């Protein structure tokens, strides 16, 4: 005779229903915990990525090479600049004589914008030089012959003005007018003479036929922009030279 399943009592059915409910709640808690772990991991991962990327982002955003020249220094009106001084007919052979490295020369203007120079220019040239690592003036004049614009600054330029000049050097090298990077900022050597009273920053460029210089009382990126646009690196006795 077949066994018959004993009917479940109401109490048994209630107990099994509660047990099943508990299991469902347990599974729901486990799912929520798993989702929480995934979310936390994702948030932490994104945080780590942002933490790693933030310095590079800020550096890139603050990179002076990516900013316009006018952002640095004082305005053109506040820079106390003299008019651009031009010496005509400086592209001839007599003004382009090469002398031995180490030779000391005397120049007609302070700073020089043309003249005899060492046989070797500064190459590759850095954007910025201090009084402790500046190239010789006779060597930098050779860079002028190759189309460089040079800013010389005297020993009174310090603090923010000096920082502005460093930033200008980086920014100016990205300009079409100085391509390929023909722009140098260097400390001036007073052995070659001193700047006129009230002038502490001097821009110089040796053009194909004429040479140009402008002296200012303060650093101004706006002045630099106007100067290099007027006298680009292509305007030079030796436009193909580095």
Is the domain of 24 the same as that of 129?
Answer: no
Any domain includes 240: no
Indicate if the pLDDT at residue 8 is higher than 70.
no
Is the domain of 55 the same as that of 97?
Answer: no
Is the domain of 74 the same as that of 188?
Answer: yes
Please give the pLDDT value at position 191. Answer: 96
Please give the pLDDT value at position 59. Answer: 44
Is the domain of 161 the same as that of 178?
Answer: yes
Whole-Å CA distances, 159 to 162, 165, 179: 5, 10, 29
Any domain includes 2: no
Residues 197 and 97 sit within 8 Å (Cβ to Cβ): no
Please give the pLDDT value at position 19. Answer: 77
Any domain includes 104: yes
Work out the average pLDDT over 82-103.
Answer: 95
**Cα–Cα distance, 103 to 97 (Å, whole number):** 12
In sequence order, the 6+-apart residues with CB closer than 8 A to the CB of 120 are: 101, 139, 142
Indicate if the pLDDT at residue 179 is higher than 80.
yes
Any domain includes 236: no
**Cα–Cα distance, 160 to 158 (Å, whole number):** 6
Residue 100, Cβ neighbours under 10 Å: how many? 8
Ramachandran region, residue 89 (left: φ > 0; alpha: ψ -120 to 50; beta: rest)? left
Is the domain of 96 the same as that of 188?
Answer: yes
Is the domain of 216 the same as that of 107?
Answer: yes
Q: Which domain holds residue 159?
A: 69-230
Is the domain of 43 the same as that of 81?
Answer: no
Is the domain of 37 the same as that of 145?
Answer: no
**Cα–Cα distance, 174 to 117 (Å, whole number):** 27
* pLDDT tens digits along 18-55: 777 788 878 878 788 888 788 787 778 766 765 665 45
**Cα–Cα distance, 14 to 37 (Å, whole number):** 34
DSSP for residue 73: B
Q: Does the reported pTM lie above 0.75? A: yes
Any domain includes 163: yes
* pLDDT tens digits along 43-88: 787 667 656 654 544 445 579 999 999 999 999 999 999 999 999 9
Is the domain of 133 the same as that of 50?
Answer: no
Is the domain of 223 the same as that of 106?
Answer: yes
Q: Which of 27-36, 152-161, 209-218 has the lowest mean pLDDT?
A: 27-36
Any domain includes 239: no
Indicate if the pLDDT at residue 238 is higher than 80.
yes
Any domain includes 3: no
């Amino acid at each position: 005779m077949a066994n018959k399943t004993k009917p479940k009592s109401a109490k048994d059915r209630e107990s099994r229903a509660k047990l099943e409910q508990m299991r469902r709640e347990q599974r729901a808690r486990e799912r929520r915990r798993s989702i929480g772990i995934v979310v936390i991991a994702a948030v932490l991962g994104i945080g780590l990525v942002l933490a790693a990327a933030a310095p590079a982002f800020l550096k890139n955003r603050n990179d002076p090479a990516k900013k316009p020249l006018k952002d640095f220094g004082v305005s053109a009106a506040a820079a106390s600049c003299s008019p651009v001084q031009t010496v005509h007919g400086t592209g001839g052979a007599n003004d382009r004589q090469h002398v031995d490295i180490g030779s000391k020369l005397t120049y007609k203007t302070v700073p020089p914008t043309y003249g005899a120079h060492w046989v070797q220019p500064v190459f590759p040239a850095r954007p910025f030089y201090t009084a402790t690592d500046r190239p010789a003036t006779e060597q930098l004049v050779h860079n002028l012959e190759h189309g460089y614009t040079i800013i010389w600054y005297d020993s009174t330029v310090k603090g923010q003005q000096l920082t502005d000049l460093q930033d200008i050097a980086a920014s100016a090298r990205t300009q079409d007018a100085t391509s390929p990077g023909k722009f140098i900022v260097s400390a001036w050597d007073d052995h070659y003479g001193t700047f006129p009273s009230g002038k502490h920053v001097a821009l110089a460029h040796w053009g194909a036929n004429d040479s140009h210089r402008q002296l200012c009382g303060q650093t101004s990126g706006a002045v630099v922009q106007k100067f290099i646009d007027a006298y680009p690196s292509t305007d030079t006795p030796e436009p193909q030279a580095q």
